């Protein structure tokens, strides 16, 4: 895959997206904390699941009842299954407890801050590891899931087939990393996720209200009337 060139000042792109994010960002309880364990729990619950009220409820119950890896490591499997049952995928209950035991045994009850060590935890994949690094530890780590991958495909107007697993696609991850504003990856990553949820939808994206419309090679050109209204 050839290098993806942005072709515009990244600072302008960052400013447009982050300004939009300030007023349009979504609010979730896991975004109000920098606790690595709570963020890790949230990301595990969100795997293969949208951020629904059911996920919010399960997250709140889990972190209230099991606020540390040590507490979660001793949880009754039936209790964990009961908490996450509304989300389906009950196998995650066993994975969560095993992951907590690994944190206790290998990391003294803490969450590691290295990509490699996070990837060694049960149930943690590329996206989850990067999300914890960005959202909990403030590292300049790009997060790429199916939605972010779709956004990048549109932004660069990529014509090749969409990958089965964008988070494991190295060239796509490299493109996402190159877009990060140094020191502000957390806000930027969250902004992209919210843009994908609210504007850059899988079908019928609302390009006319997209804050980065002018940077996107896939978006249709705005009509002169729309551009005039935007300037008012």
Q: Please tell me whether residues 156 and 181 are part of one structural domain.
A: yes
Q: Which of 79, 127, 153, 231 is catalytic?
A: 127
In a domain, 3, yes or no: no
Residue pLDDT tens, the chain, 232 long: 455 777 778 999 999 999 999 999 999 999 999 999 999 999 999 988 889 999 999 999 999 999 999 999 999 999 999 999 999 888 999 999 999 999 999 999 999 999 999 999 999 999 999 999 999 999 999 999 999 999 999 999 999 999 999 999 999 999 999 999 999 999 999 999 999 999 999 989 999 999 999 999 887 776 544 444 444 4
Q: Please tell me whether residues 189 and 222 are part of one structural domain.
A: yes
Report the distance separating Cα 180 and Cα 202, nearest Å: 23
User: What 3-state class would DSSP assign to 73?
Assistant: helix
Q: Please tell me whether residues 211 and 151 are part of one structural domain.
A: yes
11 catalytic residue (yes or no) = no
Q: Which of 59, 102, 126, 145 is catalytic?
A: 145
Give the domain range for residue 164. 10-26+142-231
The token pair that represents 107 in the structure block: 């990391």
In a domain, 65, yes or no: yes
127 catalytic residue (yes or no) = yes
The pTM (predicted TM-score) of the whole model is 0.90
Report the distance separating Cα 84 and Cα 152, nearest Å: 32
The number of angstroms, rounded, from the C-alpha of 184 to the middle of its chain's C-alpha atoms is 14
Q: Please tell me whether residues 120 and 165 are part of one structural domain.
A: no
By the 8 A CB rule, do 200 and 154 touch?
yes
Q: DSSP alpha helices (H): ranges in the chain?
A: 10-24, 36-46, 53-65, 69-73, 77-84, 91-107, 115-119, 126-135, 146-156, 170-179, 185-198, 224-231
Q: Which of 43, 102, 126, 153 is catalytic?
A: 43
* Cα–Cα nearest to 100, from 38, 55, 35: 38
Number of domains present in the structure of the chain: 2
43 catalytic residue (yes or no) = yes
Give residues with Cβ within 8 angstroms of 86, minimum separation 6.
54, 57, 58
In a domain, 113, yes or no: yes
Q: Please tell me whether residues 19 and 62 are part of one structural domain.
A: no
**C-alpha atoms less than 13 angstroms from C-alpha of 79 in its C-beta half-sphere:** 11
In a domain, 218, yes or no: yes
Q: Please tell me whether residues 95 and 22 are part of one structural domain.
A: no
């Amino acid at each position: 895959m050839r290098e993806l060139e942005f072709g515009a000042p990244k600072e302008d792109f960052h400013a447009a997206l982050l300004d939009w994010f300030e007023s349009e960002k979504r609010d979730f309880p896991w975004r109000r904390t920098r606790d690595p364990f709570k963020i890790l729990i949230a990301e595990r619950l969100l795997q293969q699941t949208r951020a629904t009220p059911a996920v919010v409820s399960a997250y709140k119950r889990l972190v209230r009842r099991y606020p540390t890896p040590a507490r979660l490591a001793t949880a009754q499997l039936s209790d964990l299954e009961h908490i996450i049952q509304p989300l389906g995928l009950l196998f995650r209950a066993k994975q969560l407890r095993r992951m907590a035991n690994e944190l206790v045994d290998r990391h003294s009850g803490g969450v590691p801050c290295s990509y490699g060590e996070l990837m060694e935890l049960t149930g943690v994949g590329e996206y989850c590891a990067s999300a914890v690094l960005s959202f909990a530890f403030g590292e300049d780590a790009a997060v790429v899931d199916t939605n972010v991958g779709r956004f990048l495909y549109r932004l660069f107007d990529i014509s090749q087939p969409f990958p089965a697993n964008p988070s494991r696609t190295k060239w796509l991850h490299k493109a996402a990393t190159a877009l990060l504003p140094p020191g502000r990856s957390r806000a930027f990553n969250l902004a992209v996720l919210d843009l994908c949820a609210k504007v850059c939808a899988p079908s019928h994206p609302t390009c006319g209200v997209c804050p980065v419309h002018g940077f996107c090679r896939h978006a249709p050109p705005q009509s002169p009337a729309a551009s005039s209204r935007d300037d008012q």
